[in-house]
Amino acid sequence: MSTTSPHRLASLAALALVTSVALAACGGGGFDDGNSDEPASSGDGPAQLKVLIASSGDAETKAVEDAVAAWADDSGNEAEVIVANDIAQQLSQGFAGGNPPDLFYVDAGVFGDYAEAGNLYPYLDQMDGADDFYPNLVDSFTLDDEAYCAPKDFSTLALEINTAAWKKAGLGDDDIPTTWDELQSVAEKLTTPEQAGLVIGVGRDRVGAFLVQNGGFWVDGETGEATATEPSNVEALDYVQGLLKSGAAVLPPDIDAGWGGEGFGTQKAAMTIEGNWIRGAMSNDYPDVDYTVAELPEGPAGKGTLLFTQCWGIAADSPNQEAAVSLVEALTTADQQLANAKAFGVMPSRESAQADYVEQFPEDAPFIAGGDYGQGPVNLPGLGPVVADLDSQLEQLKTADVDQILESFQKNAEAELQ
């Protein structure tokens, strides 16, 4: 498995291709524009929609197909669900050729590029109950103060703890770390010659949580400015580097693991920081490992975690925008999101579904709590290569010059954002 979440994998692939949207001179391999000469259909009219998804597997595909079919039956419209082989490439071709799908998944990491290129129809303000989505998720799909699309679900980071290792170290419930100092202390106590105390995934999508806990981040989404060199970010990376240098924490390659979940599942590390996707990996690959989950410890500025999310994008060129909005409303009801949670393990993006979700999945309470205070990914347009370079530099965080990493990102980001 990759060192990054499924959401991040989709983001990386899309970032590598998004430039082709602006450069492509012709289409090909896109989507049949069908009723492109027809006026936009209402939710009650006979529209024909194409829905493109990047599915995690059969369970997700079936859940989406069933929900779309139910909406079509109720509304009198028609809709076809298409499972993408490469959603970034297929969207790029559709946008360039002027015949994109009507509705499709958009990762928060590439949202800004699509929005700036004029590929997305901003519709969120038309939706009933739009204020029920977690504000932090809506921020991930907002550009120039305009919220574009409805978050379909989300994931967050939390702290996973090996129960046997915890007890063996003489630790109890009261020792679950709630501060940076406590995290370092228990990581040191859990460290043995055979097992690292904590394994932290490589890249900004893991260590970035510490920046948020110290009141900083790589960029300011509201102002559109790079903020990497702020003192709070230097302090946060210094803290993580200190964990690595002391031996209290390791990166996955240090223990021959591909990602934090592998190092944790193979019990080469007693703790890790991963998202709720780790549940599937643990039950499938490491069913005998008993573990518990806690919210990430607070930093000097308070609680902080990272959000990973996608929205339902509607194409600016779609002739069926009104019907597409109606479909998004059906796909994002609290009941439908809870059904999706049961079907393929995602967390609802509506705050009104939180209590029911925690009741049904109490072990996920630390993950869903992060919806209230989490930070979405870097989503400013044009920063794909810059954040990729940042990830590359963070691979050497244990021995690297922290100031140099942040100054490099700042310089490169400012050049792209000007």
Is residue 127, in this structure, part of any structural domain at all?
Answer: yes
Which amino acid belongs to residue 206? R
Q: What local confidence, expressed as pLDDT, does residue 140 receive?
A: 97
The pLDDT, as a whole number, for residue 45 is 52
* Residue 162 belongs to domain spanning: 157-306+380-417
Check whether residue 223 and residue 109 sit in a common domain: no
Is there a contact between 23 and 120 (Cβ–Cβ < 8 Å)?
Answer: no
194 belongs to a structural domain: yes
Please state whether the predicted TM-score (pTM) of the whole model is above 0.75: yes
Whether residues 12 and 136 share a domain: the answer is yes
28 SS3 class? coil
Tokens representing 125? 């303000």
Distance (Å, rounded) from C-alpha 97 to C-alpha 245?
51
Euclidean distance between CA atoms 130 and 292, whole angstroms: 34
Residue 1 lies in a domain: no
Rounded to whole angstroms, how far apart are CA atoms 211 and 338? Answer: 31
Beta-strand relationship, 271-275 and 150-162: antiparallel
Tell me how many domains the chain contains. Answer: 2
Helices and strands counted in the chain (H then E): 18, 13
Q: Is residue 168 part of a domain?
A: yes
The residue behind tokens 């519709």 is 123
Packed helices 334-344 and 58-75: angle between N→C axes, nearest 10 degrees: 150
List per-residue pLDDT tens for the chain, 418 residues long.
333 344 333 333 333 333 333 333 233 334 444 433 343 444 445 899 999 999 999 999 999 999 999 999 999 999 999 999 999 999 999 999 999 999 999 999 999 999 999 999 999 999 989 999 999 999 999 999 999 999 999 999 999 999 999 999 999 999 999 999 999 999 999 999 999 999 999 999 999 999 999 999 999 999 999 999 999 999 999 999 999 999 999 999 999 999 999 999 999 999 999 999 999 999 999 999 999 999 999 999 999 999 999 999 999 999 999 999 999 999 999 999 999 999 999 999 999 999 999 999 999 999 999 999 999 999 999 999 999 999 999 999 999 999 999 999 999 999 999 8
- Radius of gyration of the chain, Cα coordinates, nearest whole angstrom: 22
Partnered with residue 104 across adjacent β-strands are: 52, 313
Cα separation of 198 and 258, whole Å? 15
CATH of the domain at 172: 3.40.190.10
Residues near 283 by Cβ (< 8 Å), separated by ≥ 6?
A: none
Are residues 268 and 406 located together in one domain of the fold?
yes
324 and 289 share one domain: no
pLDDT for position 359:
97
Shared domain check, 42 and 135: yes
